[in-house]
Amino acid sequence: MNDVLILGEVKAGSLDLKTLELLGAGKKLAGDLGGEFSVVLIGDTVSGAADEALPYGPAKVYKLEHPLLQGFKADLWLACLEQACGEINPKILLMSHSFIGMELGPRLACRLNTRLTTDCIDLAIDPKDGLLLRTKPVSGGNAISVFKCPGEPQLATVRGKVFESPEAADGKGEIVEMVPHIDESMIKVESLEIVKEEIVALDKADVVVSGGAGLGEEDGFELLEELREALSKSFGNVMIGCSRVAVDKGWISSDHQVGLTGTMISPDIYVAVGISGAIQHLVGMVHAKKIIAINTDPGCNMFKVADYGVVEDYEEIIPALIEKLEELS
């Protein structure tokens, strides 16, 4: 019985953290259905990861290995996944809401003529009809919607950090090899090069100093950088964040972006400078332990979610603040 199938992702030969969380989700749903869950792994070498998955209790770990599957090529992965669904015939297929799941999910849904719900924060089985209930924030986080859709497999991509990875124990599952039916002619999008950039890992920050449209100009981030340096003398990881608007305006690179389509963070302190607080931004930082807002508009959204507010021009208050912080440190 293959009730729930999970698409695992492999990083440096090992299952990534989001896959472990998916295993937790899969185990729970399979339990509710009174059935089993399995894992499918796609890549050039996934045997080590397959062995890693077994103790978490899947009935089967399906391996699709092929030299062409080195790196993520969506066209080939899609063909593998389509093939796996055809042979395994799962009721439910779950993927991470990662860049892989975000691309494969909609395209697979089209090919299998089923319906997908993306970025789910909860999943459950409706006891009345055994269908998957897919909970997802909509309207940038202004509402929470539960979807139930026809078609199999029932497809969902799942947000990170909402499910817990299950305890590893003695798994009795087996590893099943599937031979991928792929060849080079399926690659419609050719990879020319991968350019690695120095990426700011905002989710590892203890303190985030963030700027938005209210900075008025790119140079505003220089002042924020000075504040970041001053705070670094008293706090651990202090990083620069920003709103989507700041990226749109070309003031700063998108790895600094906080919010629904940027990074979702919960640092000890979040300092919002000139950010009015669009909902899609607030959902990305509202779980910070303390929120400090600096803005000239006393009516803006950011003050509604802040612990401390300063209604003042940032160009006045921040240099003065840096001075005081230096005196204290």
What part of residues 102-131 is at the interface with other proteins (CB under 8 A)? Answer: 102-103, 105-107, 109-111, 113, 115-119, 126
Contact characters 50-89, other proteins, x per CB under 8 A = ------------------------x---------------
Residue 108 phi, psi dihedral angles, 5° rounding = -65, -40
Among 20, 84, 260, 265, binds other proteins (CB under 8 A): 260
Closest of 263, 268, 266, 274 to residue 303, by C-alpha = 274
Which C-beta is closer to other proteins: that of 55 or that of 309? 309
Residue 120 contacts residue 134 (beta carbons within 8 Å)? yes
CB atoms within 10 A of CB 52: 20
Determine the Cα–Cα distance for residues 77 and 40; give it in Å rounded to an integer: 11
Looking at residue 86, its amino acid is G
Determine the Cα–Cα distance for residues 86 and 192; give it in Å rounded to an integer: 31
Q: Which range binds other proteins by CB under 8 A, 50-58, 170-178, 216-224, 249-257?
A: 249-257
- Work out whether strand 269-273 and strand 207-211 pair parallel, antiparallel, or are unpaired: parallel
Shortest Å, Cβ 138 to other proteins? 5
Among 170, 184, 197, 217, binds other proteins (CB under 8 A): 197
Determine the Cα–Cα distance for residues 157 and 255; give it in Å rounded to an integer: 22
Among 199, 204, 225, 296, binds other proteins (CB under 8 A): 199
Closest of 20, 6, 9, 3 to residue 162, by C-alpha = 20
- Work out whether strand 14-15 and strand 10-11 pair parallel, antiparallel, or are unpaired: antiparallel
- Residues contacting other proteins: total by CB under 8 A: 91
Per CB under 8 A, 249 contacts other proteins = yes
Looking at residue 185, its amino acid is S
Per CB under 8 A, 220 contacts other proteins = no
Shortest Å, Cβ 177 to other proteins? 28
Contact characters 130-169, other proteins, x per CB under 8 A = ---x--xxxxxxxxxxxxxxx-------------------
Looking at residue 238, its amino acid is V
Which C-beta is closer to other proteins: that of 5 or that of 292? 292
Among 120, 211, 278, 284, binds other proteins (CB under 8 A): 278
CB atoms within 10 A of CB 264: 18
Which C-beta is closer to other proteins: that of 2 or that of 98? 98
Per CB under 8 A, 296 contacts other proteins = no
Which C-beta is closer to other proteins: that of 70 or that of 234? 234
Report the interhelical angle of 99-111 vs 74-88 (nearest 10°): 60
Residue 90 contacts residue 3 (beta carbons within 8 Å)? yes
Which C-beta is closer to other proteins: that of 169 or that of 191? 191
Residue 246 contacts residue 185 (beta carbons within 8 Å)? no
Shortest Å, Cβ 35 to other proteins? 22
For 255, which DSSP code?
A: G
Within 174-193, which residues bind other proteins (CB under 8 A)? Answer: 188-193
Within 13-52, which residues bind other proteins (CB under 8 A)? Answer: none
